Amino acid sequence: MTSLVSAYIGLGSNLGDSAAVLRAAVRALAGLPGSRLVRASRLYRTAAWGRTDQPDFLNAVAQLDTALPARELLAAMLGIERDAGRARSADGSDRWGPRTLDLDLLLYGEATIAEAGLHVPHPHLHERAFALAPLVEIAPEVAIPGIGPAREALARIDLGGIEPLPPENPL
């Protein structure tokens, strides 16, 4: 039997009906082979980061227990993005721009992975409140390899511009 790994996936959207897009993405993640959705955070409204001349984002984090290797999980996540209408530019020029759906592999168990196109933990996770706040909501004791407890990383950064949406807007 294949062992399961807890993977934490950051979700973001700022085009179209972002709440519906994120809900559909969580359903798609839950349907991945060899995977089970453990929990998902509530939605957070977040001011755009990087390029600020765009609509606010909705962000969340989902926890999956998965038998998929990290590279296969990432490929499946990119497929979910494409199915939601996300088109990534080959040169990365749209990196900070608006998007229908953005899925980031934040953590994959306790693994540290540095390969072309796959970096776990996400290289900027410990600096981004829009990812840390929903992560800490669902997994307050999770550790970021090489950094320490996620809740301590969150305590060190500014939470300005992040607004949790009411619980009646669940994923």
What was the pLDDT predicted at 151? 96
> Does residue 92 fall inside a structural domain?
yes
What was the pLDDT predicted at 94? 54
Going by pLDDT thresholds of 50, 70 and 90, the confidence category of residue 126 is very high
> Residue 115: which CATH number?
3.30.70.560
Question: What average pLDDT does this structure show over 19-32?
Answer: 96
CB 82 within 8 A of CB 76: no
Query: Crossing angle for the helix pair 18-30 and 70-83, nearest 10 degrees?
Result: 140
Question: What average pLDDT does this structure show over 134-156?
Answer: 95
Q: How far apart are the first and last CA of the chain?
A: 30
Q: Locate 71 and state its tokens.
A: 């590279």
- Whether this prediction's pTM lies above 0.85 is answered by yes
What was the pLDDT predicted at 159? 86
What was the pLDDT predicted at 1? 46
> Does residue 170 fall inside a structural domain?
no
> Does residue 169 fall inside a structural domain?
no
Number of structural domains (the chain) is 1
**Structural domain containing residue 84:** 5-164
- Tallying the residues shown for the chain, one arrives at 171
18 versus 160: the higher-pLDDT residue is 18
> Does residue 89 fall inside a structural domain?
yes
What was the pLDDT predicted at 161? 82
Query: At residue 143, does pLDDT exceed 80?
Result: yes
For residue 94, the 8-state DSSP code is T
CB 102 within 8 A of CB 16: no
* CA–CA gap between residue 91 and residue 94 (Å, rounded): 8
What was the pLDDT predicted at 26? 97
Q: What is the pLDDT of residues 70-106, one digit of tens each?
A: 999 999 999 999 998 877 656 555 555 578 899 999 9
* CA–CA gap between residue 135 and residue 40 (Å, rounded): 9
- Which residues are the active-site residues? 86, 99, 102, 104
Angle at 144 between CA 81 and CA 6, to 5 degrees: 55
> Does residue 171 fall inside a structural domain?
no
CB 139 within 8 A of CB 133: no
> Does residue 96 fall inside a structural domain?
yes
Calculate the CA dihedral of residues 50, 14, 79, 124 and round it to 10 degrees: 30
